[in-house]
A and B are shown apart, each in its own frame.
Chain A
Amino acid sequence: MRLLDVEGIVGGYASAEHIVKGVALSADADEVVTIIGPNGAGKSTALKLISGLLSPSQGRVLIGGEDITGQSPQAIAKAGLGFVPQERNVFGSLTVAENLEVSCLFERSAAKKRMEEAYGRFPMLSDKRRVSAKSLSGGQRQILAMAMALMGKPRALLLDEPTAGLSPKAAHELFEYIRSIAKEGIAILMVEQNALESLEVSDRAYVLVDGRNHLDGPAETVANDPDIRRLFLGGRATKPTGVDQQANPPRH
């Protein structure tokens, strides 16, 4: 089922200067979709345009068929779009429990139930519920941020570089959580620098270049596209054998 549909959005920080010059994206239920692209391609800006932190000057954003283009971030959150911003994404001086509770979009009674679900899903948070969020490690913070976004019972979840600054082990753990969240029928759209590993856990991928769609398709196809490998993934297209080795990097 199509849960997130982005049709030709255009926009940026200043009205005159468009960073995103026409991007179309979509994500279905149970699907993990990755956006990759060089620095400055407009990946993070596209997420901000979708979540309402910036308003698109053209194009439409639909959540479960409902047009939410140009609405406030609060309204978009309530319409069923969760957004985990990059890095600074938890309230440092609030405890883990407070972070979760403040992120709930529903009545207090519902908040308790949602919090228990969050603790069940991420047992680490349950152990740390009375600890202030600033004392969490980077990986724990990302998990908390994701749990916060899930408090709103989103239908689609946007993640802006969820593994930025994480150790390979923490990044791997986070990717597994992302997969398991998608399995519950949530559409996940993420921007990642860690392109190789994120393509491995993704179903589909988009490549953005200079604010426009450059390429899209099944994650595996994108990962093996020689041009893409050469441009973004650090692979050497001229030496196919080397490419194959890099497609499945050894896990430590």
Chain B
Amino acid sequence: MLTYILFTLVVGSIYALLAQSLMLSWGLAGLVNLGLAGFFAVGAYASAMLTTWEQAPILVGVFAAVLAGGFAGLLVCFSTLRLRDDYLAIVTLGFAEIVRIVASNEVWLTGGTDGISGVPVMIARDTGIWFHLGTLLITVAAVILVYVLQRRLLASPWGRALRAVREDQTVASVAGKSIVRFKAQAFSLAAAIAGLAGALYGHYTSYVAPDQFQPLITIYIFLAVTAGGNARPAGAVLGAYLLVAFLEATRFLAEIAPGVTALQAAALREIAVGIGLVFVLTLRPDGLLPERSQKAPAS
């Protein structure tokens, strides 16, 4: 049971990283990024390939995953420069699917649908509970690190300009802000954070395969960020942990519900998640922790 709780918390932390990635690109920069699972996959594969096949140290793998995520983010951003809103969402969704389908089919590159197994773990597996606990500490440290970084960015002139760009591109451009530069930086940084999440995930499950990066993950993260508050780092983190807790809790509820098949139980969980979100948004339309104005500079 303790192992299960620790496992859930590690997954929650990975989701919290993804949620912070989405908060940056969607909540702050206003870029609807439905390709989150794709950047997550790019990070997971980058680190898994380097550490499993090339025997690189895990730290090098994680660093490469961050770079690969950021680079993929730049690529997607510059190929969608003229797109906004729904159109950007469609293209990013397509990107995530391309990553997944390429990973499934290019066996020489990614191992195909078999995936990459035997990915080195961060804490030796034979340490029992310490394996989970140690990994949890590392992932929580990553969440905190990204959280602190985001808080600092948000309070900086860069963060302010980013929110201005999100609000109105015309006004931001006549106020002397380069729209393209801010969008590319935010999108790329967000993708790098998703890449980090992917690497940590691979080094926990020690297995990376295409079916782990279904679009459903992106949707879950959107739910988490919407419920938690999409323009506040703490909101994104809170939403992610709550979502994972909710998903796991409903798993037990579905088991004890009488006269329901496993398939129906799974569907009931999805319904419960939807109702939960509607409930949260009815009470708190801007999420549990809505956007706060940054303190005006001392005057």
Contact = CB atoms under 8 A, between A and B. Distances in A.
Interface of A: 51-53, 72-74, 77-78, 82-83, 85, 88-99, 101-103, 105, 108, 111-112, 115-116, 119, 129-130, 132, 148-149, 151-152
Interface residues on B, range: 20 to 34
Given A98-B294, A98-B296, 8 more contacts: A53-B174, A73-B176, A88-B171, A91-B164, A94-B164, A99-B164, A102-B164, A115-B297
A48 to B, nearest CB: 9
B173 A94 contact: no
Nearest to B298: A112
Interface in B165-206: 167-168, 170-178
Interface string B236-265: 000000000000000000000000000000
Contact of A95 (B172, B175, B178, B296): B296
10 contacts: A72-B173, A72-B178, A90-B171, A94-B164, A98-B296, A101-B160, A102-B175, A105-B176, A108-B157, A148-B171
A95 B294 CA distance: 8
Contacts of A149: 174
Interface of B: 157, 160-161, 163-164, 167-168, 170-178, 291, 293-294, 296-297, 299
B170 A77 contact: no
Contact of A85 (B171, B176, B291, B296): B171
A102 B293 contact: no
The 3 closest A-B pairs by CB, nearest first: A97-B296, A91-B167, A73-B173
A129 B294 CA distance: 12
Contact of A97 (B167, B170, B171, B297): B297
B164 A74 contact: no
